[in-house]
C-alpha cells in the first residue's frame, strides 16, 4: 500500500515537472515591457539591416500596441514593405488592401497605392520571360494590369503626390509591355501560319494600346497576315496606315528584324 502511495506521488511529481518544463519552453515575448516607440525603433533597425523576417513580427506587435494611433498606421505600411522585400508579395498586397480599407482618408493613401502598384509591377517584369516559352498565349497579364490600375488611381486621385511622376513613368512602361506582349503573341501565331489568330491579336493591340511603339510591328503583322490570306484590300489598308504612322518603317525592308532597338529604349 505504501509503495502504491509512493508510486502515485512519484507520478505526480513527474507530471508536475513535465508541466513546468512545457511552460518553460514557451517562447518569451521580449517586447513585453517595451514602449511602442522602442518597438518601432527595433523594427526599423531590423528593416534597415535587411532582416525582414525579424522586422515583420515586430511591426505586427507594434500595430496592436499602438492601435488607433498614426504609429499603428505606419506599422502597417512598414510591414507591407518588409513583406514585399521578404518575397511575401501576396501577404504584402493583403496588408495594403487592409490598410486602405481601414484608413480610406489616411494622408498615406497615395503611398499605399504606389506600393501596391510597385509590387505588381515587379511581378509584371516576369512578362519578359516570354522568349523562353513555347506558347506565348498562355502568359498571364493579371499583375501588369493590376499594377496599371493602382498607378492610374494614384495619379488620378493624387496628381500632386510625390509618387505620381514615377507612377506615370511606370504606367507608360506597363502599357508598352502589355502592347509588346500582344504583338509577340501575334507574331507567334503568324510564324506558325495561324494568320487569323495573328490578325486578331494585332488588332487587339492596336485597339487597346494606342501610341505604344509596338504598334508599328502590329501593323506590319496585319499587312503580312492579310497578304498570306489573299485579302489584298485589307492588306493595302493596313499598309497605308503603317506608312502614315511610321513612314519608312524598317519592318517593310527587314521584316521582323526591323526594330533597331528594344521598345523600352524609345518610349
Q: How far is CA 228 from CA 173, 191, 237, in A?
A: 32, 11, 15
Q: Would you give the DSSP letter of residue 141?
A: -
The DSSP result for 18-43, as a single string, is HHHHHHHTSPP-TTTT--HHHHHHHH
Helices then strands, each counted (H, E), the chain:
12, 0
Judged by average pLDDT, the poorest of 23-32, 53-62, 199-208, 213-222 is: 23-32
Q: Is residue 239 part of a domain?
A: no
Q: Render pLDDT for 12-21 as a digit per residue (tens, 0 to 9).
A: 555 555 555 5
* Number of domain units in the chain: 1
Q: Is residue 157 part of a domain?
A: no
Q: Is residue 49 part of a domain?
A: yes
pLDDT confidence of 210, banded at 50, 70, 90? confident
pLDDT confidence of 258, banded at 50, 70, 90? low
Judged by average pLDDT, the poorest of 35-44, 103-112, 196-205, 248-257 is: 248-257
What pLDDT shows up at residue 122?
Answer: 80
Mean pLDDT of 198-202: 96
pLDDT over threshold 80, residue 225:
yes
Q: Could you tell me if 190 and 198 are in contact, meaning their C-beta atoms sit under 8 angstroms apart?
A: yes
pLDDT over threshold 80, residue 26:
no
Sign of the alpha-carbon dihedral angle for 97, 100, 103, 109: positive
**Full 3-state SS string of 158-186:** CCCCCCHHHHHHHHHHHHHHHHHHHHHHH
What pLDDT shows up at residue 128?
Answer: 45
Using alpha carbons, select from 169, 84, 154 the residue that is nearest to residue 123: 84
- Residue 43's domain comprises 36-86
Q: Render pLDDT for 77-91 as a digit per residue (tens, 0 to 9).
A: 999 999 999 999 999
Using alpha carbons, select from 74, 240, 208 the residue that is nearest to residue 141: 208
pLDDT over threshold 50, residue 98:
yes
Q: Is residue 58 part of a domain?
A: yes
**pLDDT above 90 coverage of the chain, percent:** 64
Q: Render pLDDT for 151-186 as a digit per residue (tens, 0 to 9).
A: 999 999 999 999 999 999 999 988 888 898 899 999
Q: Could you tell me if 100 and 153 are in contact, meaning their C-beta atoms sit under 8 angstroms apart?
A: no
What pLDDT shows up at residue 15?
Answer: 54
Mean pLDDT of 204-224: 92
Joined grid coordinates for residue 264: 523600352
Mean pLDDT of the chain, nearest integer: 84
Distance CA 137, CA 184 (A): 9
Q: Is residue 62 part of a domain?
A: yes
pLDDT confidence of 257, banded at 50, 70, 90? low
CA end-to-end span of the chain: 94
Q: Is residue 249 part of a domain?
A: no
Q: Would you give the DSSP letter of residue 101?
A: H
Q: Is residue 132 part of a domain?
A: no
Mean pLDDT of 37-51: 95
Widest pairwise Cα distance in the chain: 110
Distance CA 221, CA 110 (A): 40
Q: Is residue 107 part of a domain?
A: no
Amino acid at each position: 500500500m505504501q509503495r502504491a502511495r509512493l508510486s502515485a506521488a512519484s507520478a505526480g511529481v513527474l507530471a508536475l515537472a513535465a508541466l513546468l518544463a512545457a511552460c518553460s519552453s514557451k517562447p518569451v515575448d521580449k517586447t513585453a515591457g517595451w514602449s511602442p516607440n522602442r518597438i518601432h525603433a527595433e523594427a526599423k533597425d531590423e528593416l534597415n539591416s535587411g532582416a525582414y523576417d525579424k522586422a515583420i513580427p515586430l511591426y505586427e506587435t507594434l500595430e496592436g500596441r499602438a492601435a488607433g494611433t498614426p504609429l499603428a498606421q505606419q506599422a502597417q505600411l512598414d510591414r507591407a514593405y518588409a513583406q514585399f522585400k521578404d518575397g511575401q508579395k501576396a501577404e504584402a498586397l493583403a496588408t495594403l488592401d487592409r490598410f486602405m480599407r481601414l484608413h480610406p482618408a489616411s494622408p498615406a493613401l497615395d503611398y499605399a497605392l504606389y506600393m501596391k502598384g510597385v509590387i505588381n509591377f515587379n511581378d509584371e517584369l516576369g512578362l519578359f520571360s516570354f522568349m523562353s516559352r513555347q506558347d506565348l498565349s498562355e502568359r498571364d497579364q493579371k499583375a501588369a494590369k493590376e499594377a496599371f490600375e493602382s498607378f492610374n488611381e494614384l495619379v488620378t486621385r493624387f496628381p500632386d503626390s510625390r509618387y505620381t511622376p514615377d507612377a506615370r513613368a511606370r504606367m507608360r512602361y506597363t502599357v508598352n509591355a502589355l502592347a509588346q506582349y500582344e504583338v509577340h503573341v501575334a507574331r507567334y501565331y503568324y510564324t506558325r501560319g495561324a494568320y487569323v489568330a495573328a490578325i486578331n491579336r494585332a488588332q487587339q493591340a492596336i485597339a487597346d494600346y494606342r501610341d505604344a511603339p509596338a504598334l508599328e510591328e502590329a501593323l506590319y503583322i496585319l499587312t503580312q497576315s492579310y497578304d498570306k490570306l489573299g485579302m489584298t484590300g485589307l492588306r493595302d489598308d493596313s499598309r497605308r496606315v503603317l506608312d502614315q504612322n511610321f513612314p519608312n518603317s524598317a519592318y517593310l525592308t527587314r521584316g521582323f528584324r526591323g526594330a533597331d532597338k528594344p521598345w523600352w529604349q524609345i518610349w
